[in-house]
């Protein structure tokens, strides 16, 4: 698997090397360097639910932490020829499992024969949502972090493959359409265990319409979660296999094995008028897998800008739709209780109201302060760090965050 990933990732860079003579001929202007950074401290007041930005992080209990939102990134754009460009972006941030390739967020070659077509190949940002591929760039959005209810349960940020994008004028605006194909992988942590997985194939389409201050975006993704690596699940499956002749055990083994396609739908709008900005986004993860239940997520927000200060509010919600798999009571104990707790543990339901302020004290730097108040339903806290599957209280949690973001 690693060798295949390296081939996908470095194929565009090999192509770039063959065109390097064009870069040298073009001079220093052919290479542009950019960067971004966020230094952020977050505090959660819960002793039982550890706050985290997304499911790839460990989460922290009742302590100030720099881990959740702090990041540092560098990007190089190389003009290879009039129609060709190579882009590489490296991002350092808190990760559960540090691997060199994970720090490479982008590595692709793009070909733009005219103003209407763009083709990219390599490691590409999976910009299916309104945030696009700037989720790591804290300066790019007004709030401290993308809403956790919507983005925290989507632990993939790029894919290795190819994308074809077309732009045309429609109704005095611009319509962007794209199709893409490739593969991705990621890692999530829950109840003290971590799971690696592949998303392959990873294909779909997206549209975006822009007209003045109005933007609409929608996307569709079809993928299959495979090669799930989790030591606890592997051990449980091995033990259950010893009891395969017992009634209900074979069904439980099948439920622990993820092998069907999953659909992901998302759409969002944003509108700016005077000093106000409105936005909303919704998504549906459509799955028939007991370990990957269907999930609905949405958020809406409003921003009021006064000179170089922005005041904003957000309201997000997420809930599982079909997380109700019941293990047969014919499965012998303690295998029944262990199996049922795992299926119960993938459920999630919570809402968060956020208010904050952003001060652009320089044209390239912003100071942000945000308060989040979350309502987390009992035994449905998958977005938080917990100590056991499913066994979490019905709780309200406050998170306070102070951050400084910049671009250079």
pLDDT one-digit tens code per residue, 236-278: 899 999 998 888 899 999 988 887 889 999 999 999 999 999 9
Coil, strand or helix at 308: coil
Round to whole Å and give the CA distance between 124 and 108. Answer: 6
Lowest model confidence (mean pLDDT) among 75-84, 234-243, 372-381: 234-243
Round to whole Å and give the CA distance between 335 and 249. Answer: 9
> Does residue 334 have a cis bond before it (omega within 30 degrees)?
yes
Lowest model confidence (mean pLDDT) among 33-37, 141-145, 274-278, 334-338: 334-338
- Mean per-residue pLDDT over the chain, rounded: 90
Residue 286 pLDDT level (bands cut at 50, 70, 90): very high
Q: Residue 113 has what pLDDT?
A: 96
Across 94-232, where does the E strand assignment appear?
104-111, 117-125, 158-170, 173-190, 193-211, 214-229
Helical residues (DSSP H) of 91-159, grouped into ranges: 148-151
Residue 344 pLDDT level (bands cut at 50, 70, 90): confident
Residue 166 pLDDT level (bands cut at 50, 70, 90): very high
Q: Residue 116 has what pLDDT?
A: 97
Q: How far is CA 303 from the centre of its chain?
A: 23
Tokens 């100590």 correspond to 387
Residue 217 pLDDT greater than 50, yes or no: yes
Q: Residue 9 has what pLDDT?
A: 47
Q: Does domain 39-68+138-407 have CATH number 2.40.160?
A: yes
Residue 213 pLDDT level (bands cut at 50, 70, 90): very high
Cβ proximity of 380 and 320 under 8 Å? yes
Residue 4 pLDDT greater than 80, yes or no: no
Residue 24 pLDDT level (bands cut at 50, 70, 90): very low
Indicate the Cα dihedral angle 94, 99, 100, 101, nearest 10°.
-100
Round to whole Å and give the CA distance between 279 and 302. Answer: 7
Round to whole Å and give the CA distance between 338 and 154. Answer: 26
User: 8: which 2 tokens?
Assistant: 């996908």
Residue 50 pLDDT greater than 70, yes or no: yes
The whole-number average pLDDT for the span 217-235 is 89
- Measured N-to-C along each axis, helices 231-241 and 249-256 cross at an angle, to the nearest 10 degrees, of 160
Indicate the Cα dihedral angle 252, 229, 127, 100, nearest 10°.
170
Residue 5 pLDDT greater than 50, yes or no: no
Residue 22 pLDDT greater than 70, yes or no: no
The whole-number average pLDDT for the span 101-108 is 90
Residue 342 pLDDT greater than 90, yes or no: no
Lowest model confidence (mean pLDDT) among 155-169, 201-215, 365-379: 155-169
Across 133-192, where does the E strand assignment appear?
158-170, 173-190
Residue 160 pLDDT greater than 90, yes or no: yes
Q: Residue 348 has what pLDDT?
A: 92
User: 304: which 2 tokens?
Assistant: 């009021």
Coil, strand or helix at 167: strand
Q: Residue 96 has what pLDDT?
A: 67
User: 132: which 2 tokens?
Assistant: 């696009």
The whole-number average pLDDT for the span 196-219 is 95
The per-residue pLDDT for range 289-321, each reduced to its tens digit, is 898 899 999 999 999 999 999 999 999 999 999
Round to whole Å and give the CA distance between 159 and 156. Answer: 8
Of the two residues 205 and 232, the one the predictor is more confident about is 205
Domain layout of the chain by residue ranges = 39-68+138-407
The whole-number average pLDDT for the span 369-395 is 90
pTM value surpassing 0.85: yes
Round to whole Å and give the CA distance between 20 and 55. Answer: 40
Residue 210 pLDDT greater than 80, yes or no: yes
The whole-number average pLDDT for the span 5-25 is 47
Of the two residues 139 and 157, the one the predictor is more confident about is 139
């Amino acid at each position: 698997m690693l060798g295949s990933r390296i081939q996908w990732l470095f194929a565009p860079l090999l192509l770039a090397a063959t065109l390097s003579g064009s870069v040298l001929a073009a001079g220093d202007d052919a290479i542009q360097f950019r960067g971004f950074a966020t230094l952020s401290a977050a505090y959660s007041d819960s002793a039982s639910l550890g706050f985290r930005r997304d499911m790839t992080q460990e989460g922290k209990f009742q302590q100030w932490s720099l881990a959740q939102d702090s990041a540092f990134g560098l990007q190089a754009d190389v003009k290879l020829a009039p129609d060709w460009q190579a882009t590489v972006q490296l991002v350092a941030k808190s990760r559960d499992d540090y691997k060199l390739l994970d720090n490479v967020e982008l590595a692709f070659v793009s070909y733009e024969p005219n103003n209407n077509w763009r083709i990219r190949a390599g490691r590409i940002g999976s910009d299916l949502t309104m945030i696009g591929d700037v989720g790591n760039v804290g300066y790019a959005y007004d709030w401290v972090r993308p809403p956790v209810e919507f983005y925290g349960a989507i632990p993939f940020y790029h894919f290795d493959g190819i994308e074809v994008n077309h732009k045309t004028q429609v109704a005095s605006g611009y319509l962007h359409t794209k199709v893409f194909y490739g593969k991705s992988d990621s890692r999530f942590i829950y109840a003290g265990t971590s799971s690696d997985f592949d998303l392959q194939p990873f294909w779909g389409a997206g549209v975006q319409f822009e007209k003045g201050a109005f933007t609409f975006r929608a996307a569709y993704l079809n993928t299959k979660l495979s090669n799930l690596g989790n030591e606890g699940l592997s051990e449980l499956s091995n033990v259950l296999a010893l009891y395969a002749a017992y009634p209900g055990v074979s069904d439980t083994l099948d439920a622990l094995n993820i092998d069907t396609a999953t659909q992901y739908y998302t759409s969002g709008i944003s509108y700016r008028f005077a000093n106000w900005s409105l936005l909303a986004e919704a998504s549906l993860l459509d799955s028939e897998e007991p370990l990957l239940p269907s999930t609905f997520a949405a958020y809406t927000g409003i921003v009021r800008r006064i000179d170089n200060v922005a005041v904003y509010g957000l309201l997000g919600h997420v809930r599982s739709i079909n997380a109700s798999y019941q293990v047969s009571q014919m499965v012998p104990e303690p295998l029944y209780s262990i199996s049922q707790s795992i299926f119960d543990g993938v459920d999630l339901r919570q809402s968060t109201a956020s208010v904050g302020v952003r001060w652009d004290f320089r044209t390239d730097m912003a100071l942000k302060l945000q308060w989040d108040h979350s309502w987390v339903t009992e035994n449905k806290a998958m977005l938080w760090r917990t100590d056991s599957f499913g066994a979490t209280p019905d709780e309200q949690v406050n998170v306070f965050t102070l951050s400084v973001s910049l671009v250079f």
